[in-house]
Structure 1
Amino acid sequence: MHASRFPADFLWGVATAGHQNEGDNVDSDTWFLENVTPTIFREPSGKAMNGWELWESDLDLVAGMGLNAYRFSVEWARVESTEGEFSDEALAHYEAIVDGCLARGLAPIVTFNHFTSPHWFAKRGGWLNPEAPELFARYCGVVMDRFGDRIALALTFNEPDLPEMLTWIEMPDFVVQLGRATLDAASEAAGVERYRAGNVMVPEDFAPMRAGMTEGHRAAKAAIKTRRPDLPVGLSIAIIDDVAAPGGEELRDRKRAKVYDHWLELARDDDFVGVQNYEREVYGPDGPLPVPEGVAVNGMGTAVAPESLRGAVEYAHSVSGVPVLVSEHGIGTEDDSLRAGFLEPSLDGLAQAIEHGVPVLGYCHWTLMDNFEWIGGYGPKLGLHSVDRQTFERTAKPSAAVYAELVRSFSG
């Protein structure tokens, strides 16, 4: 592959998230859920990767790979740990990250809500609260007033469709019940009737949570655009590349309509849509087909399928009609040789999508380093770097050099 297959201003980056990297996000809903009994979380996040302290050297890693973009999240729970009170220390910290990106030639791509919200917000019912969109928009406005003039792209939400998408994956019944028990325990511990979070949901909340986050997106976008009309704003959607074997078309289309299409249709009024793809699922008339014998699998147990990125990107654009940012793409595996070999064919498929007319703004690999993967704790490995959990030393995996070399070849 050569550079001409990608636009000259293409963004080559990595993606991270505050709660998963920073550590000690003690005023967040996710921290609270990790520490109740029972909990669906395998383990608490604790210090995570100590990214709150090590952000400068982490930016050096990104720049050292020859990348030109960095996606990260601002943690609402740090900025507004108490309702209506905004932390100058937290805002200064994230402003320093933005300026650190610019000093290293990295375009700052900022996510305003990467699953986590303040504890006080969850105590009020999270996105079920009628005031939630206004509260979120106020926070977004405060962030924009501080450093919104210097960011490259804004994402309001990260994967608001994920809880519903996970219902299409075969999970034991006890997992669903444990999620419910976690929210019940949190409600009791917080002394409220209904403690609700963005990344642990019960099925009866799907529709009203979707409605609250939809209005939250619109309100946040308005707050962002009021302060900077030229800033491209979107949201990121988790999209499995759903493929129909003969007879599986109805099931595939039903899943797409149920999980993705609301958000992709919402994105029609946005400047771009973020696509987050990790796998492909092949549907027959009775459900997902088994992985063929001898095919490598990822941590989710599905086939390693580099071509899934192209499929997800093309589908997202076909429904939304707006440019696409690959805001996350990667592979959960202990075998880094799978990750290293996965990159070039995945990017080749992305280049083919561009050549077939899909406008793609950039590609952010998930993730810079192994981190806290939500209910999976520190088990799943998706990083280009490993991290010593005691010393927090980062060590590049072979896949980091492969990605850096590919970017060099595309950018030259």
Structure 2
Amino acid sequence: MTIDRFPAGFLWGVATAGHQNEGDNVHSDTWFLENVTPTVFQDRSGKATNGWELWESDLDLVAGMGLNAYRFSVEWARVEPAEGEFSEEALAHYEAVVDGCLARGLAPIVTFNHFTSPHWFAARGAWLEPESPELFARYCGVVMDRIGDRIRLAVTFNEPDLPEMLTWAHLPEFIVELERKTLEAASAAAGVDRYRAGNVMLHEDFAGMRAGMTAGHKAAKAAIKARRADLPVGLSLAIVDDVAAPGGEELRDRKRAEVYAHWLELALDDDFVGVQNYERIVYGADGGLPAAEGVAVNGMGTAVEPDSLRGAVEYVYSVAQVPVLVSEHGIGTEDDTVRASFIEPSLKGLAQAIADGVPVLGYCHWTLMDNFKWIFGYGPKLGLHEVDRETFERTAKPSAGVYADLVAQARGL
């Protein structure tokens, strides 16, 4: 396959997230969790990449790469910093971002919840609270009233399947215990019995949180569609390309049932489903198989496998049967030569999936620049640009040029 085998109107973009880029998200649950003691977060987000102030020059970077789409998140904690109180400043900011995208020929792909929620929402118990779907839908409606007429795609939730996926990642027990202690410290600091958050979750809460987010997705979609029936709505899922070696079929299928099945069934009624893929894991009868000796590995310790994107996309479509948006795809590595050489074969695999009949709306590389990586702080590097932690100056890595050249080729520019 060649890189020019993509349909007309294909969306070529990059993805970012509010809390990871904007900085000073002081009314959010994640900010609160970062600042309690003890905390599972290795760093505090602080100014992040200062994207709240530098958004215009960041859009210039996106447009300068020859892209035609930009995925970003609206921060609920900024829009509704106190329950029932909506910030005109925040709404005006996000409206300016949308208009800035359009002025640069970028289709705005908006995520309404990228892990973070308001502090007040977490203090109520987050998605365990029965009123949470209604509260989320109200916020989505306020945002839609302001910018809904100008956005291309709406993503309700980012990776709601991640908690279940992480149970398969075999995190060290001390991390699991530190997550519990973080939430206990947050509950005490907030003066509530049950402080809960979307990206630090206790195993016993999984079922209740999943039920709350499921209802939240449905309520949000209804609120969005009530204001603009033609706007495509979906959610984005973390999808590993799970492959079975001989004897590993049962384990692979059990993981798919535990992690993805619920959300892919929910997506059957959506307009599209987002695929966020970073790795392939090959399962034998006793678990994931290690990378072969001498093979390059990513930041998660699994083999660098560009074909994982094709596998993930084809699997998701086989179940959900709705168009796919590659809402995130990238690689965590300090060696940008690995990233630069990873992009083209990944896109050729995606072109193969399209040729084989999978309807793909677009591809958003994660991410525009190195940013705050949740509990792992500022260590992991996934950006096409590096960021000076003092001056916030953005410097393009070679991979940014590689991606730009490939997009130009695909778009016939």
Q: Same fold judged by TM-score > 0.5?
A: yes
Contact 1:278 1:331 in 2 (8 A): yes
Q: Which residue of 1 aligns with 2:72?
A: 72
Distance of 2:320 and 2:260 partners within structure 1: 10
Contact 1:95 1:147 in 2 (8 A): yes
Name the SS for the 2:268 alignment partner: helix
The CA deviation at 1:4 is 4.7
Task: Map 1:21-60 to 2 at 5 A.
Answer: 21-60=21-60
Distance of 1:42 and 1:284 partners within structure 2: 33
Q: Which residue of 2 aligns with 1:333?
A: 333
Name the SS for the 1:206 alignment partner: helix
Structure 2 residue 304 is matched with structure 1 residue 311: no
Percent of residue pairs identical? 83
Q: Which residue of 1 aligns with 2:166?
A: 166
Contact 2:80 2:86 in 1 (8 A): yes
Task: Map 1:283-294 to 2 at 5 A.
Answer: 283-294=283-294
> CA deviation digits over 1:171-191, x for unaligned, max 9?
211011011111111001100
Q: Which residue of 1 aligns with 2:343?
A: 343
Distance of 1:75 and 1:339 partners within structure 2: 29
Contact 1:354 1:360 in 2 (8 A): yes
Q: Which residue of 2 aligns with 1:219?
A: 219
Q: Which residue of 1 aligns with 2:382?
A: 382
> CA deviation digits over 1:168-221, x for unaligned, max 9?
012211011011111111001100000000000010000010000000000000
Task: Map 1:110-259 to 2 at 5 A.
Answer: 110-259=110-259
Structure 2 residue 296 is matched with structure 1 residue 296: yes
Distance of 1:127 and 1:212 partners within structure 2: 5
Following superposition, which runs of at least 4 residues in structure 1 exceed 6 angstroms of deviation?
Answer: none
Distance of 2:193 and 2:170 partners within structure 1: 30
Contact 2:3 2:348 in 1 (8 A): no
Distance of 2:117 and 2:162 partners within structure 1: 16
Distance of 1:160 and 1:3 partners within structure 2: 31
Name the SS for the 1:281 alignment partner: strand
What one-letter code is carried by the residue in structure 1 that aligns with 2:145?
Answer: D
What one-letter code is carried by the residue in structure 2 that aligns with 1:278?
Answer: Y
> CA deviation digits over 1:62-83, x for unaligned, max 9?
0000000000000000000000
The CA deviation at 1:259 is 0.2
Distance of 1:382 and 1:106 partners within structure 2: 22
What one-letter code is carried by the residue in structure 1 that aligns with 2:157?
Answer: F
The CA deviation at 1:387 is 0.2
The CA deviation at 1:290 is 1.1
The CA deviation at 1:2 is 4.6
Distance of 1:47 and 1:222 partners within structure 2: 34
Contact 1:2 1:409 in 2 (8 A): no
What one-letter code is carried by the residue in structure 1 that aligns with 2:19?
Answer: H
The CA deviation at 1:361 is 0.1
Structure 2 residue 411 is matched with structure 1 residue 404: no
Distance of 2:79 and 2:65 partners within structure 1: 30
Distance of 2:178 and 2:338 partners within structure 1: 32
Aligned-residue Cα RMSD (Å) equals 0.6
Distance of 1:2 and 1:303 partners within structure 2: 24
The CA deviation at 1:223 is 0.1
Q: Which residue of 2 aligns with 1:268?
A: 268
What one-letter code is carried by the residue in structure 1 that aligns with 2:67?
Answer: L
The CA deviation at 1:3 is 5.9
Contact 1:14 1:364 in 2 (8 A): yes
Name the SS for the 1:269 alignment partner: coil
Name the SS for the 1:362 alignment partner: strand
Name the SS for the 1:44 alignment partner: coil
Name the SS for the 2:57 alignment partner: helix
Q: Which residue of 1 aligns with 2:356?
A: 356
What one-letter code is carried by the residue in structure 2 that aligns with 1:171?
Answer: L
The CA deviation at 1:163 is 1.3
Q: How many residue pairs are counted as aligned between the two chains?
A: 412
Contact 2:3 2:351 in 1 (8 A): no
What one-letter code is carried by the residue in structure 2 that aligns with 1:281?
Answer: I
What one-letter code is carried by the residue in structure 2 that aligns with 1:118?
Answer: P
TM-score normalised according to structure 1 size: 0.99
Distance of 1:39 and 1:112 partners within structure 2: 26
Name the SS for the 2:219 alignment partner: helix
What one-letter code is carried by the residue in structure 1 that aligns with 2:55?
Answer: W
Name the SS for the 2:363 alignment partner: strand
Structure 2: 5+ residue stretches without partners: none
Structure 1: 5+ residue stretches without partners: none
Q: Which residue of 2 aligns with 1:11?
A: 11
